[in-house]
Chain A
Amino acid sequence: GQNIDQPTEMTATEGAIVQINCTYQTSGFNGLFWYQQHAGEAPTFLSYNVLDGLEEKGRFSSFLSRSKGYSYLLLKELQMKDSASYLCAADPAQFYNTDKLIFGTGTRLQVFP
């Protein structure tokens, strides 16, 4: 079956670093995605990993290990506006990208002053 696991909730302090983990089990694999969703709003794309390693984009970085079925999103220098849900999603396609993503249930991050 297809399964994506991520913690339900996390808390952190403004200025700190937080790592949100995601593990996945899919029939095939064509990339791991992270989306950010503020309460009451639409999800917005953050990052995409298809090869092993770390992708850095400003304060946000995303890591992928295909052999372990594992990814994490690293948020540095946390700001209050980073309080949101972070959705991990995988493309389970075998040979080509289908964009039919399977989403995890999301990790709700609360940043405190």
Chain B
Amino acid sequence: DADVTQTPRNRITKTGKRIMLECSQTKGHDRMYWYRQDPGLGLRLIYYSFDVKDINKGEISDGYSVSRQAQAKFSLSLESAIPNQTALYFCATSDLTSGRAGELFFGEGSRLTVL
């Protein structure tokens, strides 16, 4: 089983709908992230959380919100989805104590299509 699990893996929705992408991890890491990946644009950081009480905006947070329900769970919401939010979304974790800074462990990705 994957250490970082994302659900759903694929979702097609319509403009204006509320969508939640969920991420859970069994790695025991404190740090969790949400990225989106678009062709030609690379991975861009949406939100990140360094512990349960810490939520921070990334470079492209507009139109998104997050919730860190527990150390192991970090969900991403699109309150009112729009077509330019069509992308591949990745959740990732990292371990502050590992000594290997910046080693991100990614989930398998959630492909979202907004019609």
Chain B residue total in the interface (Cβ 8 A) = 24
Q: Does B106 contact A (CB under 8 A)?
A: yes
- The one of B40, B94, B108 in contact with A42, judged by C-beta atoms closer than 8 angstroms, is B108
- A43 to B35 Cα, complex, angstroms: 11
A100 touches B108 (CB 8 A): no
Q: Which single residue of chain A is at the shortest CB-CB distance from B45?
A: A100
- A110 to B31 Cα, complex, angstroms: 33
Tell me the number of A-to-B contacts counted with CB atoms below 8 Å.
57
- A73 to B94 Cα, complex, angstroms: 22
Q: Does B60 contact A (CB under 8 A)?
A: no
Q: Which of B61-69, B74-82, B95-103 contacts A (4 or more CB under 8 A)?
A: B95-103
Q: Does A84 contact B (CB under 8 A)?
A: no
B40 touches A103 (CB 8 A): no
A87 touches B43 (CB 8 A): yes
- A93 to B105 Cα, complex, angstroms: 20
Kindly name the residue among B40, B42, B96, B108 whose own CB sees the greatest number of chain A CB atoms within 10 A: B42
| Residues of A in contact with B (beta carbons under 8 Å apart) | 30-31, 33, 35, 41-45, 48, 50, 87, 89, 91, 97, 99-101, 103-106
